[in-house]
A and B are shown apart, each in its own frame.
Chain A
């Protein structure tokens, strides 16, 4: 090719910070056709295929990019969906910079191919096509085996889609009133539009998967009862739904939310449209979000959009240790979120009506690396100070909901409450039961949950066919 290799990626058009701070519309607007083609042309189609190896679900990345730049869009969709049932979701929320893009050959000299953006472009293109023209997925003839998937988040949807494609009869049981799990209740509209999640859920249904909502497994039925009821295998994709709190004095004052509550009210219940929707959420003028992950960024950016005047991210380590994606941190900064690093809350004070009004903090400094490999924060003596706040969101992470593990005999869990499962196969300690995603790892990413579900599918399928 005579053209000189462009070392810079094609920029992603975004809503301007001032504008987007006042709405819940998607921030990243997506490539236009010419952007996508220009970016796809940068791919050198190297033989190493490191990108595919860097992808937890093994998408044939060079192939779909090639199809895209040859304008064979249906082919690109087919290649993508061959490995990934939820490309519209992954294209938006995967941490590509630490996966496929990190190992891209172009990364040595310049910017790696924007694989996530291209994936999103292909997925959005398909979504815009009329239903009749969409490529029909190939489904194997019925095996006569029944599979129950518990939870309809990223792991559950992936396991259900892939098992259905293999000819098994799949039912999903979801506790909430909509399918999608964390994609619906956790990730805000401006980062993960709900119509995209809905479309991907519809795709999974089109494979013959039945989704039953309002079904709290552990309450309406135990896993043993499901197995006794004629199901040949059960996949647990129940996620990590239990919020962690700081466990410091005053944490139950009004105005202090878990990130789960805050985001569920905003995203699942649409509190940002109150009173048109019935669920309220009270966000004050000065908001402190405790934590440094993507969930903390989401809560802070929601607060900005809900009219808070000052929004702080309070994090006990420094910028380098923050687990949030850099892109999300930048977006938050552009929207005016203020970062207070090396700061840890110690106590809350409330007013006479029981609302939080002050947060006492200490400054931290970084000591020796801890178990996570990050330098651990140590309290700086005598550094106490107070911050006036009227809203606090605690975003420290989540642990698995114990409802299923505690009602399932023979299902081993760890001290952290996660379900014990073999990494390669997703097999749990209970025969006929597999698990994958956050319920096994604790809170992690959408794509790692999907990768775990795919490995479990291979094992479940082999088990069912060997029966």
Chain B
């Protein structure tokens, strides 16, 4: 069992757990993930690592309530535990001196971007960050990302904070203006957002890295459900990624594969909600 040391509600539906897991904390690096199980009947799901504290032995993950597992997690309080926590999995983000690095985060993926922006900054890069949310109420960690960014642009779909619109607009402007010689773009968020970020940078020939989020089971290279086509070659996201060259990703295949269990996920969630309303915790 892995204890939740602290819990923070970043928004009503996005939560942070700092979890006691010294083995994972010792080795965690930016861009890696963990596979967790909430309880003994739970499924294995991947969550990206948002932070770690090697001395304390803790690892921080951030998740949004979407399906049954994340809603189940959201019922847990600090001091309670989750059944399993394995990691750090996947290859860390390749940190190098690129000159200017543009970090683009969509929604709660800002939690994934922050340690990457920090590592890029520490490696001597100029970091320009763009973070986008649907609206102001879903925003968090603006200050954290600002801390590791030389420049920060915030967008909201509805204009309730920062610039109105989606992240690809300032991204395109930045590349068009030519005022920055961009060495690398790191775009992380929902698959659609990553796809369009990729399409935005492609004409400029700027190297772009995305962190893919397909369905996973074991997360160690055993099952192959997370296979993605990268430049026509099948790769396993869990061991060959999760970072890949955005311009080589077969986005439509990835999106189709992510929808495999949509019906089952819906059914599972509905049943859980029913059981919850008659005496559950939420």
Residues of A near any B CB (own CB < 8 A): 175-177, 185, 213-216, 219-221, 241-243, 245, 247, 251-254, 257-258, 260-261, 264-265, 269-270, 274-280, 282, 353-354, 401-403
B170 interface residue per 8 A CB criterion? no
Which residues in A have their C-beta under 8 angstroms from that of B44?
177, 269, 279
How does the 8 Å CB contact mask read for B73-99 relative to A, with 1 for contact and 0 for none? Answer: 000000000011111110000000000
> Across the two chains, which residue of chain A brings its CB closest to B24?
A220
Q: A219-B27, A277-B41, A278-B42 given as contacts; is B220 within 8 A of A252 (CB)?
A: no
B177 interface residue per 8 A CB criterion? no
Q: A175-B220, A252-B229, A261-B217 given as contacts; is B23 within 8 A of A215 (CB)?
A: yes
A265–B223 CA distance with the chains assembled, in angstroms: 9
Q: Are A401 and B220 in contact (CB under 8 A)?
A: yes
B54 interface residue per 8 A CB criterion? no
Q: Are A278 and B222 in contact (CB under 8 A)?
A: no
A279–B41 CA distance with the chains assembled, in angstroms: 8
Which residues in B have their C-beta under 8 angstroms from that of A276?
41
B48 interface residue per 8 A CB criterion? no
Q: Are A280 and B84 in contact (CB under 8 A)?
A: no
B163 interface residue per 8 A CB criterion? no
Q: Are A243 and B223 in contact (CB under 8 A)?
A: yes
**Known A214-B84, A402-B221; 13 more pairs at CB < 8 Å:** A175-B220, A219-B27, A219-B88, A243-B223, A245-B234, A252-B228, A254-B257, A260-B223, A261-B224, A278-B68, A279-B217, A280-B268, A354-B257
Which residues in B have their C-beta under 8 angstroms from that of A213?
84
The segment from B127-135, B138-146, B258-266 found at the interface with A is B258-266
Minimum distance in angstroms from A402 CB to a CB of chain B: 8
A243–B88 CA distance with the chains assembled, in angstroms: 22
Q: Are A215 and B224 in contact (CB under 8 A)?
A: no
Q: Are A264 and B261 in contact (CB under 8 A)?
A: no
**Cβ-closest 10 pairs across A and B:** A354-B256, A280-B264, A261-B223, A278-B43, A214-B86, A220-B23, A258-B224, A279-B43, A177-B84, A241-B222
A264–B37 CA distance with the chains assembled, in angstroms: 15
A459–B224 CA distance with the chains assembled, in angstroms: 36
Residues of B near any A CB (own CB < 8 A): 23-24, 26-27, 37, 41-44, 68-69, 83-89, 217-218, 220-225, 227-229, 234, 239, 252-253, 256-257, 259-261, 264-265, 267-268, 271
A219–B227 CA distance with the chains assembled, in angstroms: 20
A30–B9 CA distance with the chains assembled, in angstroms: 54
A87–B222 CA distance with the chains assembled, in angstroms: 27
A269–B256 CA distance with the chains assembled, in angstroms: 23
Which residues in A have their C-beta under 8 angstroms from that of B85?
214
> Across the two chains, which residue of chain B brings its CB closest to A241?
B222
A252–B228 CA distance with the chains assembled, in angstroms: 8
> Across the two chains, which residue of chain B brings its CB closest to A175?
B220
Which residues in A have their C-beta under 8 angstroms from that of B268?
274-275, 278, 280
Which residues in B have their C-beta under 8 angstroms from that of A279?
43-44, 217
Minimum distance in angstroms from A202 CB to a CB of chain B: 17
Q: Are A265 and B217 in contact (CB under 8 A)?
A: yes
A264–B35 CA distance with the chains assembled, in angstroms: 15
Q: Are A215 and B86 in contact (CB under 8 A)?
A: yes
> Across the two chains, which residue of chain B brings its CB closest to A278?
B43
Minimum distance in angstroms from B122 CB to a CB of chain A: 22
Which residues in A have their C-beta under 8 angstroms from that of B224?
243, 245, 257-258, 260-261
Which residues in A have their C-beta under 8 angstroms from that of B229?
252
Which residues in B have their C-beta under 8 angstroms from that of A221?
23, 27
Interface of B is mostly: mixed
Q: Are B68 and A403 in contact (CB under 8 A)?
A: no
Partner of A353, one of B41, B68, B220, B256: B256
Q: A216-B87, A245-B234 given as contacts; is B223 within 8 A of A258 (CB)?
A: yes
Which residues in B have their C-beta under 8 angstroms from that of A175?
86, 218, 220
Minimum distance in angstroms from B20 CB to a CB of chain A: 13
A353–B259 CA distance with the chains assembled, in angstroms: 9
Q: Are B218 and A264 in contact (CB under 8 A)?
A: yes
> Across the two chains, which residue of chain A brings its CB closest to B39?
A278
Which residues in A have their C-beta under 8 angstroms from that of B86?
175-177, 214-216
Which residues in B have their C-beta under 8 angstroms from that of A220?
23-24, 26-27, 87-88
Partner of A216, one of B217, B220, B223, B253: B220
Q: Are B264 and A274 in contact (CB under 8 A)?
A: yes
Q: Are B220 and A241 in contact (CB under 8 A)?
A: yes
Which residues in B have their C-beta under 8 angstroms from that of A270?
41
A354–B27 CA distance with the chains assembled, in angstroms: 38
A400–B182 CA distance with the chains assembled, in angstroms: 40
A353–B84 CA distance with the chains assembled, in angstroms: 34
Q: Are B37 and A177 in contact (CB under 8 A)?
A: yes
Which residues in A have their C-beta under 8 angstroms from that of B228?
252
A265–B43 CA distance with the chains assembled, in angstroms: 9
Q: Are B83 and A251 in contact (CB under 8 A)?
A: no
Q: A219-B27, A251-B234, A275-B271 given as contacts; is B221 within 8 A of A403 (CB)?
A: yes
Q: Are A269 and B217 in contact (CB under 8 A)?
A: yes
Q: A219-B87, A264-B218 given as contacts; is B225 within 8 A of A282 (CB)?
A: no
Q: Are B253 and A354 in contact (CB under 8 A)?
A: yes
